[in-house]
Structure 1
Amino acid sequence: MEQFVAVVIAHLLALLIPGVDFFLIARTAMTSGWRNATGACLGIAAANGIFIAAAFSGLSLLSHPALLDPLQLAGGGFLIFIGAAFLRSRGRIDLDQDLTAQRTTWLRNLGLGLTSGLLNPKNALFYVSLAAAVRAAAPLTLVLYGIWMFCVVLVWDVFVAVGLGSRRALAHLDRILPWLTRLSGGFLVLFGGGMVVALTVEFLS
């Protein structure tokens, strides 16, 4: 029980710190509504689930430089690309899409969330570290931990999407949405650039 409480606290603290996933969900929810943003939420949760399964099954290669460095480079480039797209965006709310457009947007957001989650090395390192801390737990316990964390990630991300993407929230955010979009874009560019620069410095040293 004490170990479970420690896992829950560590995981919740990691979720509550705004990062790449938060800004991606926030921007998606504020531009296309929370229902379309659930695609990104599910994609991010699925990426976390993959890392959880890999880490808890003992796949420590996730933390090996031969795999982690290319992942960090690809992730940095992806974040710069997405951030630049945010900066170029008109940052306006478009909720009056037809059903086909909404389905296309949801699927696109699903792929975007999955890609973002998989290319975020911080996710991989967090779960590898957490798996090392609970490696003595029984296999069934690890499975339950994994299911719990996947569900918590999904519920939290959907909560963020609903909170920022409901019509009531959007009615208040419409005027400042362009600034929020630029803020999100700037954060992603700086974060992605920092990853690339750190990797380059490490390679040259």
Structure 2
Amino acid sequence: MTEYQRFQQALDSIGALANPAEAHGVLIGMWIGGGPAEESRWLAELVEEDRPPQAPPTALSELYQRLVEQVTTADNLGLDLVLPDEETSLKTQVEGLIDFAQGVLYGYAIENGPARRALGDDAREVFDDLGDIAQLDPESVKTEDDAFDIHQIEEYLSSALLVMYLQLHPPIPETAGSQRLQ
């Protein structure tokens, strides 16, 4: 079983309406839009309102903790995005990328992140790119299309979203008298 399938099973077990790519996008968008988001709040966004809260499956808690580590570790160069793997069809991979982009935009919106016009040029460009990805037609993307390299897009989003988070929520520098919370 792939990691993506494991996350899908976990999402299904709580009645989530999202697939793993979209769910991960929502989580990242929430963090970018409003800073650290509670795991329970993220999971509540993924299920119907009338579903009672329940203990999160281990796989989803691990995914949440992985994001926390990636955005709080100084030597990290990007986020590990949860997307369909190379073993799936290009169409499935593109659909996952679309769902991920839509999830990031949704997560950012529900946290009332800064208006697009208030962002720096780089962050606005990332949002424009997410919007373009969210509107892709998976049927129009062909393997022989050199202009569309899904791995290059994944790498770009991995680093661009982390940089965007750090720009909107810069770490507090440690001073000689401060101690880092464990």
Query: Is TM more than 0.5 here?
Result: no
Which structure: greater helix fraction?
1
- Greater RCO, 1 or 2 (C-alpha within 8 Å, sep 6+): 1
**TM-score normalised per structure 1:** 0.30
Larger radius of gyration: 1
